[in-house]
Each structure stands twice: as C-alpha cells, then as structure tokens.
C-alpha cells in the first residue's frame, strides 16, 4: 500500500494540467499505462471528464502514443467495468494543491 508519505510530501494533484490542458490521467491514458490509470482512478479527486485544449477527455486519447495492446483495459477502467488490483492507495488530501 502506498501512503501519502511514501508518494512524497507534495499532494497528488490529479487535476493539475499542462499548457495544453492535459492532466496526469490524459498522459497515462495516452501512453497506455494501465497501472497508472488504475492508480489515478483510485484517487478521490481524479476527474475523468476534464477536456484538454483540443476538447479531448482522457478516454479520447487512450493509447494514442503507445501500442493498443492495453487499450481495452484502459477503456474498461475508465468506464468502471474493469478492476485493476495493482494498487491500494490511502490518500490524504490536505487541502492544498
């Protein structure tokens, strides 16, 4: 289990974004990282409906920059129809992000 301390003292800000409006979830989906997508989705503040500057949600960019081998798993994670038990996260939000 990862705790807030093990992940670092900086809170996990899943809603932060780049100048192009891409969140950590956009990047994980785009690069095909199933485990990272599962981890981010397990955090209470992760928003799956944030759109980037191109109007794309994380579900719209799945595996754009990676092989499509894990595309179905990521799409199922985003839809809530697939469970990935790689991580059990205890997240402590301290109100600053």
Q: Are 23 and 16 in contact (CB under 8 A)?
A: yes
Give the tens place of pLDDT for each residue, 40-81: 998 888 899 999 999 999 999 999 888 777 899 899 999 988
The widest CA-to-CA distance across the chain, in whole angstroms, is 37
Per-residue confidence (pLDDT) for residue 3, from 0 to 100: 42
All structural domains of the chain with their residue ranges? 1-97
Q: Are 90 and 55 in contact (CB under 8 A)?
A: no
Q: What is the fold of 1-97?
A: 1.25.40
């Amino acid at each position: 289990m990862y705790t807030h301390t093990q992940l670092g003292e900086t809170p996990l800000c899943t809603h932060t974004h780049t100048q192009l409006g891409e969140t950590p979830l956009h990047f994980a989906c785009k690069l095909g990282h199933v485990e990272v997508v599962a981890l981010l989705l397990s955090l209470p503040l992760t928003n799956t409906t944030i759109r980037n500057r191109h109007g794309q949600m994380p579900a719209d960019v799945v595996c754009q920059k990676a092989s499509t081998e894990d595309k179905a798993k990521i799409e199922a994670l985003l839809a809530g129809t697939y469970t990935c038990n790689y991580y059990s996260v205890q997240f402590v939000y301290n109100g600053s992000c």
